[in-house]
Amino acid sequence: MRKFHLSLLLIMVLLVGALVPAYAAPQTQDAVKLRMGLLPILDVLPFYVAEQAGYFEAAGLDVELIPVSSALERDQLLIAGEIDGMLNDLISTGIFNQDETLIQIVAMARKAYADSPQFRILAAPRSNITLPSEAAQHEIAISENSVIKYIAQRIMEDAGVNTADLQFRAEPSIPVRFQLLMEGTLKVACLPDPLAQAAIEGGAILIADDSALVETEFSQSVLSFRTPIIEDHPEAVAAFLSVWMQAAAEINADPDAYRDLWLEKTIVPDSVKDSYVLPPFPTYEITDSVAWEDTVEWLVAEGIVDNAATYADSVNPTFLANIAPGDMTMNMGNPVNGEALFVANACSACHALTDEAGAGPGLAGLAVRAGETVEGLSAEEYLRQSMLEPGAYVVEGYANIMTVYSMMPENDLNDLIAYLLTLE
């Protein structure tokens, strides 16, 4: 019986849970916290871009990014309810949902492109193995029950190898698999980028990669949330997705601007720090039924799960459908930029950031009172009006002397408002 030990995992987690007091703080509706479990891999870059730019805060979200060192640790945290969402893949989702819908995919996070493979099959340096048919004579090192084995099999199949003949060998630690391949102890292995590129630069031989699977989108990672979070806090999930899409679009527009953040937050081999070309991130895309069905069929065929979770249960496209591309880019400013504009436009000549009065009111607590100052105006509308038409409402005790900023470009205005909304 090769069924994946999800139930065993559950028991372990429950046992650990039993040791701590059975008290859970009451949850308040208005302060949803989204805790996201993140592996130190390239796929998670948009999370960190959004965090650095202050987008989560600007969207009124309380998001905590929780680094995890392995998929196993991530999955344990999810089962224990200690994270609410994560970056994972279709295989992981199919395993989670084999008996009930524990999680739902809400968007695609990354996929293989023709110029940017995610996974590659490599032969050891100086092994003289160059063709898929030759590689198929050796054990392919993979990790069991994982996307790596699934993709390795699909890549070899696509390269014309009869998968019934393939032999696999489990080497779950990716760094160890890399090392053993480079030493020649392993003849053939499947590795993710950018590690695969580092292997090639070190002499490993490229046999085939998942750029061959671009059409089918078999090779992809996804964003998913626990089902209760989706049911109880759909607005938070929607806001989160808008922010994620904006961050992904910004990376696509200028990938090198985020190279340092990528190096800081994920594990990148020294040899490719400068040379690896950051891949595009898909925006407003979601898993289709073809890729899903192929994944669950594989899980069943491999004996990893008994039941194939359905596409309708596991993939939830409603959030993406409700956030129009471009929505956020138009409406949501960048508060970090806004702070720079606040300084550049000499707002501070009249406004202190404390509650001390100057020529204009001190701005401490502005984010809180802005929505309550003029009836019928939201905080954002009030702040916009304060800059475009300061005379429309004059704060009590002050003269109507504020500069009119009606010439300010819309983008800058949005950035400034996003910044003002952080002044709590």
Chain center to CA of 144: 24
C-beta separation of 413 from 420 below 8 A: no
Judged by CB under 6 A, does residue 54 bind ligand HEC? no
Q: Tell me how far, at minimum, the Cβ of 258 lies from ligand HEC, in Å.
A: 28
x/- letters, 351..390, toward ligand HEC (CB under 6 A) = x-------xxx----x------x---------x--xx--x
CA atoms within 13 A on the CB side of 40: 14
The residue (of 214 and 395) whose beta carbon lies closer to ligand HEC is 395
- Rounded to the nearest 10 degrees, what angle do helices 410-420 and 379-388 cross at? 130
Give residues with Cβ within 8 angstroms of 267, minimum separation 6: 40, 41
Q: What is the pattern of x (binds ligand HEC, CB under 6 A) and - over residues 312-351? A: ------------------------------x--xxx-xxx
Residue type, 404: V
CB of 413 to ligand HEC, least distance (A): 9
Q: Which residue's CB is nearer to ligand HEC, number 139 or number 381? A: 381
Cite the DSSP H helix spans in 64-185: 71-79, 90-96, 132-135, 147-158, 174-183
Q: How far is the CB of 372 from ligand HEC (least distance, A)?
A: 10
- Identify whether the C-beta of residue 362 lies closer than 8 Å to the C-beta of residue 353: yes
Residue 135: how many other CB atoms lie within 10 Å:
24
Shortest Cβ 345–ligand HEC spacing (Å): 4
Relative to beta strand 188-192, strand 220-226 is unpaired
Element containing residue 418 per DSSP (H, E) = helix 410-420
Is 400 a residue that touches ligand HEC (CB under 6 A)?
yes
Contact with ligand HEC (CB under 6 A): which of 72, 403, 404, 406? 403
| Interface with ligand HEC (CB under 6 A), residue from 166, 191, 305, 420 | 420
Q: Which of 34, 38, 305, 402: binder of ligand HEC (CB under 6 A)? A: 402
Would you count residue 404 as binding ligand HEC (CB under 6 A)? no
Is there a contact between 56 and 332 (Cβ–Cβ < 8 Å)? no
φ/ψ (deg, to 5) at 155: -65, -45
| Closer to ligand HEC by Cβ: residue 225 or 419 | 419
In contact, 328 and 239? CB cutoff 8 Å: no
Pick between residue 95 and residue 417 the one whose CB is nearest to ligand HEC.
Answer: 417
Q: Does 257 bind ligand HEC (CB under 6 A)?
A: no
Residues that bind ligand HEC (CB under 6 A): 342, 345-347, 349-351, 359-361, 366, 373, 383, 386-387, 390, 394-395, 398-403, 405, 416, 420
